[in-house]
Structure formats: C-alpha cells, structure tokens
Structure 1
Amino acid sequence: MARPTSLLLLLCVIVAAAAQLLAPAGAAKFACNARGGAARCQSLLGYTPRNATTLASVMSLFQVRSFRSLLAANGLPLSTPPSRPVPARATVRVRFACACSAGHGASMHRPFYKVAPGETLDGIARGVFAGFVTYQEIAAANNISDPALVQAGQELHIPLPCSCDEVEGAAVVHYAHLVAAGSSTSGIAAEFGTAEETLMSLNGIRDPKSLQAGQVLDVPLRACSSSISNASIDRGLHVPNGSYILTANNCVLCSCSSSTWQLECHPTKGLSSSACPAATCGDLALGNSSSSTDCESKTCVYAGYTTTTASFNILTNLTTQSLCDAAGAPMPQPSAGFDLQSGVQWAYLAVLSICFNVALVGFVL
C-alpha cells in the first residue's frame, strides 16, 4: 500500500498539471507599423472584471476622460448613470488612445495605476488589469530593472495592447479580446464578423487548437466609411458597428450603420444649441434625408469640424444615393454592451495554491 506522503505528492503533480492547462496564455504585443499621422488612433479593449463593479469604477481604473466616451463604446444611452452595475465576468468595452512605436502599439499616457501596499507587478497585471498586460511589459514601460522592488504609492503606466494598422488594406478598429474557456478561433471570428484566417494571421496562430483561455487576441472590427474631410480635426475617425462616438466637441453623434456600412451622424440630443454651431446642408439638417424621386435620396452627411481662435465650424456634404441599386448584405457585427463570459483565467491561481499546500502537507508527513 502506498505511503500517504507518496499519494499526496502524486496528487500535487496531478493538480499542478491541471493548473498548467488552465493557466492563461498571457498578453501579447500587437503589431503596429503605421507611421506618420496614422501611427496614432483609437483602439478598444474588452475589460472583464473579476468581481461585480460599476461603470464609474471602470472609468476610474482606465482613466477614461469622458463618461460619455465609455457609454458610446458600449452603445449605451447617454442617460445611463455612472452607478450602473457591471456584473462579474461581464465585458465592458473601453476606448483609449493608441500609439505605434518600434513595431508595436501601446496605450498613450494613460492609464496610470498607483501601487497599493502589498501589491506586486504580476498581481497588478493579472488581478487588476485582467491579464491584458504582463508584469514584464509594465516593468519595461516604467524602466523598472527589478520587478520585485515596486513600492506602495508608486505610479505605473499600464501599456495596454493596441494597433493602428490597416488589415488587408481596410481601415479597422483593433479590439483587444480576452479569450474565454471553451472558445475557438472560428467562434471568435464569427462573433466579431471577421474571417478565421484573418484572425489567425493577425495573431500569429498556426494551429487553432493552440488557442488558450486567457490569451489576448487582436480582433479587427470592421469600421464604417465616412465623408470626413482630410482637413477636419477628427479625420481618420473610425467607428465599428454596435457603438457610437461623440465628436465635434460632443456636438455630433456618429454611429455605424450595419446595413450600409456608412457613418451616420446627427446633432447630439440634449446639448444646448448655443454651444454648437448649425450643421445643415442648405435647408436640410445634418443626418436628414429627402427624396426627389422614387430612386434617389439626398442626405446631409457629416464631413468633420474645424476650429480657430474666432470660430468653430461643423462641415457637411450633401450626398445623393440611388435607392434602386441592389446591395449585398454586410458582414454581421456583434451588438455592444455587456456580454457575460465564462472567464476561468483566474482559476489556475487557486489551483496552484492548492498544489503548494498539498505538497507542504506531504513533506510534513
């Protein structure tokens, strides 16, 4: 009959093996080779909190400048209060500024995180920021030679993964997605309206079976085309389906149409007209359409905005659309908002803890 010590050690080995299977694959830098003005953009991240929280807390953690921006990224009404609950394991989209450098993309300037007593870089990377970064990346971004020497009160820049590159010649919004247990490359591709081959190529995945829970993927979200002028301050504005964005000093709300894949913009409701200049195409207001014939429609579309020390102008174009031309259906995109996910990326920590304690008991016996 086997000794108790041997049985306990054998159990420890089994548990440790299981922990390796459950362990998250870790964050990965996103390729970002865009240059010039295209080397900066807006990216998205799907944050999945370990415990129940609120929109206000998510905004504070990622230091989102505008609460309206957080609402827009998730397709939530502007009347949504900051106290709105976010269930544990729900996904909240966070929009942030991205910059390309040395072939990779990382969040610009923010978020910063103040180290609490007893915290480690690894705990901050995994526990606070859900594994979207590694402790090595945090250390490199903050010129920390010894990750074990972080101190309480120290402020750290968190380099969130992102990219500004076009994908297959098309403008996209790069979305950092945390892989849930049981996911597949084909399922993720279908969920976000992209091709599996594109998803695998972008993330350097050769074998779909190698996908792991906790792995961070660069998912390209198709963006709507627009009529925004290159002279506009918000040129290069990209909006994926299922979300909207406020621009022109919050005077204009733009969303992506899943039927035409054109950016649809109109004056933001609830803002004082005195704070926003008129946005019209003659007698036609921004976002409105009129039909002169059964097969032709004219629409006043958003073309950007300009500002000087003396004026603030919203640019518009009057476009003509044929209503009689048949058009193919666009690829589907997921609706935004909160998506419950079965995130088990934290389970391996508990398993490793059990392993350690079992081994300790075994040696004592």
Structure 2
Amino acid sequence: MVNQKPFHKTHIFLSLLVFTNVALLVTSKSTIEPCANSDSCNALLGYTVYTELKVSEVASLFQIDPIALLTANAIDISYPDVENHILPSQLFLKIPIVCSCVDGIRKSVSTHYKTRPSDTLASIADSIYSGLVSADQIREANSISDPSVLDVGQTLVVPLPCTCFNGTDNSLPAIYLSYVVTPVDTLAWIAARYSTTLSDLMNVNAMGSTAIKASDILAIPLPACASNFPRYAADYGLIVPNGSYAITASHCLQCSCGPGNLNLYCQPASLAVSCSSMQCRNSNLMVGNVTVQQSGGGCNVTSCNYGGFVNGSIITTLSTSLQPRCPGAQKFPPLIAPPTSVIRDTTFAPSPAPQSDGAGGTGAPKSSSSVPSTTSMLPGLAPIGGPAGSASGSASDACSLINPLANFPTAVLLLLYVKFMMAIL
C-alpha cells in the first residue's frame, strides 16, 4: 500500500488562506467617511436605469421628488406630463439624496424597497440599484437570516453610499457623487469626465494608486453653489451642482448654479402656483430681480435674493453694492429634453487596446477589444505614483476599503496553491 502524507489541520488552514486571498482580489472597494454627529448633507448617487422606467418610477425607487430628479439632471420640467416620461434603459442619472451619519459612517438609509415575486437580494442590489449596494449589506441592514427566503411585499431598508466632507473640496463648495466603476473605466477617464484631477480623486478616496476595478464605488467631488440659509430654514444646507438646478420652497423657487461662476441664483419656478410673497421689503423687486445704475464711482447693483424657506414663508433679502462695472445678464445652465435614448459619451472614452494583426504588429482596434489598463493616462496628464497626499479640508478623513492584495496577481496565488497541494498529496 502506498503511504500517503497526512492532511493536517495546517494544510486545511493554508488552503483556506489561499482561497480567501483569491476571493479578496475580486472584492470591490468603497470610500467611506467616518462621522460622529447627527448632521446630514445633500449628496448624489450615480445610477444606471436597469430597464425602461417612468421618471416617477425611478424617483419612487429612492423615495425622492420626481421634480428633484429632473432638475438634478438639468432636464426641462416644462414638458407636458414629464413625470410620466419613460426613461430608456442604461441611462445614467444623478440621484439627489440626503446623506446621514449612521453607526459612525456616512450613508443614506431613507430608501426602502418592497420585494416582488422574482426578487433576490442579489438582483435587488446588482440590477435594480445598479451595484450601489451589495446583497450582504441589504441582508445585514434588515437582519435577514436566510437570504434565499424573501417574502413577497416585504419592505427592505436599502443602505446607500454617500459622503459629505463638509460640503467642500479644496476649500471650495462641492457636492459628492457616489460613482460605481464600470469595466471600461479608468481613473483618468473619470477625472476628465467630471472635470477634476487624478490627484484630487486619489486624495478624496484615500487611494495609493490609480488602480480601480468594476464595482468599486468612488466619491467624486462636483463643484457646486452653496446656500447660506439659517439653520431653522426648511431648506438649510441647499447645495446645487454646477450646471444643474434645484426646486425649493414648496416648488415655488428654482435655484441654479453656473455657468461661469459658483453663485447660487434663485428665481420663481415655472411650477409656482400658491406661494407666499416673493417681493423684497421696501422695494418693488421680486426674488431674482436685479437693477443696475452706472455712476462715476462704478455701478450700483441692487438685487432681491432668496434667504430660505421658514414656516411656509419665503424669506427675502435686499442687497445693494457698488461694483467696478455692471454685471451682464444672468446666464443659466442649458436644459435638455427628457431623454428618449442613451447617447454614449465618447468624448473622454478610453481607447481600446490595439490587437495583433498576426504579423507581429498591431492592427486597428477590433470591436471585441480588451478592457483598457486602469493605469493608462490621458494625454497631458502625468502618471501619479505612490501614496496620495493629504486632501484639503475634511476629505483627508476618508477611509478607502481597499483590498491589501489588490495588486497581487491572481495567477501567482493559484500557482502557489497548486504546487502546495502537489507537495502534500
């Protein structure tokens, strides 16, 4: 009889260790922000519509106002029956949410989902909420002991990622977008798409390298216009991303940000029906009105500004200033029609990797090109190596759930495992 080497507990432990390390390689990472108080902020989710849905259906998934969804994406709300407009599958949207402090970290827990007959935790997480949450996170948030058994009509809390970082980035107003990385993304492409830099993204997300992979969730700072409303105002903390709008004061006012500056500008909304007075005291000016008068010393500018929504009343403030020259007409971010199809953004799309033409050279890229390297750079952007420096403001407090073996090749681990098993058998 052939003697066999005993399979000790040590062997079992080492086998589990190798498989655990391999599993970690495919685990996604997410940026979290520690917190220690009960305050909240406005934030955004990057969401991809999983099937054709009405505007109101998408809004219902996140329990938000359909009008808030439209204005956050600069979609014209004056279209007839716009809330019932059908959005195409795979459309990318920014979802406005409230980011709270829960169990010591920033997250949104205001979203609830009612299960349907065909639902599983995986389908809810990966498809319906487009990877913004994992099946395990839903299971833990709802204390589900057996994830294979879901009652139809069961209401689940869906914890969603978000960050605040004091509403600033490099000491300027910002709102943070939680973005799910896709298989073709590179950090350079994401930075270019959202008009930021590689170093800023790395600092905000506490990254030691530019390596990212599909399903990672990054916090992306977007320039924004911040309000200065009193704490007792219903819309305290209102912040509007550059190039978009927000509806406030019970749909009576529309506030916009940009282009050209980061000064919040509010005026009566087209939806306004029954609203309190919008006129500034001791003036015939309404919210959003500006008068200018040229003088020898410069330009006298008088404006009626919005100051918050308090106890159902619109607060207005009249301001007068002397400026070197008179300002031009107010500019507004461009509005788009409700989308009916998905237009692929190829402006900053990663270039496909060249493939061999069979003669030792590289031919034209083929339609089935491989996913670009996550360390490739856009022209004119120098590669960044080594640990990221500390971020300005509170972004340096970010923690990135990064797998410590993320840069260790899977093949090496598998090879070591095979050799180990051959040695003990």
Query: What is the TM-score with the length of structure 1 in the denominator?
Result: 0.74
Counterpart of 1:221?
A: 222
Corresponding letter in the other structure for 1:284: L
Matches for 1:275-354 after TM superposition, within 5 Å: 275-280=275-280, 282-293=283-294, 295-296=298-299, 297-307=301-311, 312-320=313-321, 322-324=323-325, 340=343
Corresponding letter in the other structure for 1:181: P
- Worse-matched range after superposition: 197-206 or 23-32: 23-32
Counterpart of 2:35?
A: 33
Query: What is the TM-score with the length of structure 2 in the denominator?
Result: 0.64
Count of aligned pairs between the two proteins: 307
Distance 2:324 2:183 in 1: 45
- Worse-matched range after superposition: 23-32 or 278-287: 23-32
Counterpart of 1:107?
A: 108
Q: CA offsets per residue over residues 177-236 of structure 1, 9 Å max, x none?
A: 12233322122122223332121222232221x212332211111221444344533221
CA 1:90–1:292 in 2, change beyond 3 Å: closer, same or farther?
Answer: same
Distance 2:343 2:32 in 1: 25
Shift of 1:266: 0.6
Matches for 1:49-198 after TM superposition, within 5 Å: 49-64=49-64, 66-80=65-79, 81-110=82-111, 112-166=112-166, 167-198=169-200
Distance 2:317 2:44 in 1: 28
Distance 1:313 1:90 in 2: 35
Distance 1:225 1:42 in 2: 11
- Please tell me whether the aligned partners of residues 179 and 215 of structure 1 are also in contact (alpha carbons under 8 angstroms): yes
Shift of 1:169: 4.0
Counterpart of 1:9?
A: none
Distance 1:26 1:223 in 2: 29
- Please tell me whether the aligned partners of residues 227 and 237 of structure 2 are also in contact (alpha carbons under 8 angstroms): no
Shift of 1:242: 2.0
Unmatched tracts of structure 1, length 5 or more: 1-19, 327-332, 344-365
- Please tell me whether the aligned partners of residues 132 and 160 of structure 2 are also in contact (alpha carbons under 8 angstroms): yes
Distance 1:100 1:168 in 2: 22
**Could you say what secondary structure the match of 1:316 adopts?**
strand
Corresponding letter in the other structure for 1:203: N
Q: CA offsets per residue over residues 26-47 of structure 1, 9 Å max, x none?
A: 46253142634xx212211121
Distance 2:193 2:236 in 1: 28
Corresponding letter in the other structure for 1:40: S
- Please tell me whether the aligned partners of residues 100 and 163 of structure 1 are also in contact (alpha carbons under 8 angstroms): no
- Please tell me whether the aligned partners of residues 115 and 152 of structure 2 are also in contact (alpha carbons under 8 angstroms): yes
Corresponding letter in the other structure for 1:283: N
Report percent identity of matched pairs: 29
Distance 2:276 2:310 in 1: 12
- Please tell me whether the aligned partners of residues 120 and 150 of structure 2 are also in contact (alpha carbons under 8 angstroms): yes
Structure with bigger gyration radius: 2
Shift of 1:255: 0.7
Counterpart of 1:361?
A: none
Q: CA offsets per residue over residues 278-312 of structure 1, 9 Å max, x none?
A: 332512221111112264233222111221xxx72
- Please tell me whether the aligned partners of residues 229 and 236 of structure 2 are also in contact (alpha carbons under 8 angstroms): yes
CA 1:152–1:207 in 2, change beyond 3 Å: closer, same or farther?
Answer: same
Corresponding letter in the other structure for 2:302: K
Shift of 1:271: 1.9
**Could you say what secondary structure the match of 2:240 adopts?**
coil
CA 1:140–1:335 in 2, change beyond 3 Å: closer, same or farther?
Answer: farther
Counterpart of 2:252?
A: 251
- Please tell me whether the aligned partners of residues 304 and 318 of structure 2 are also in contact (alpha carbons under 8 angstroms): yes
Shift of 1:315: 2.6
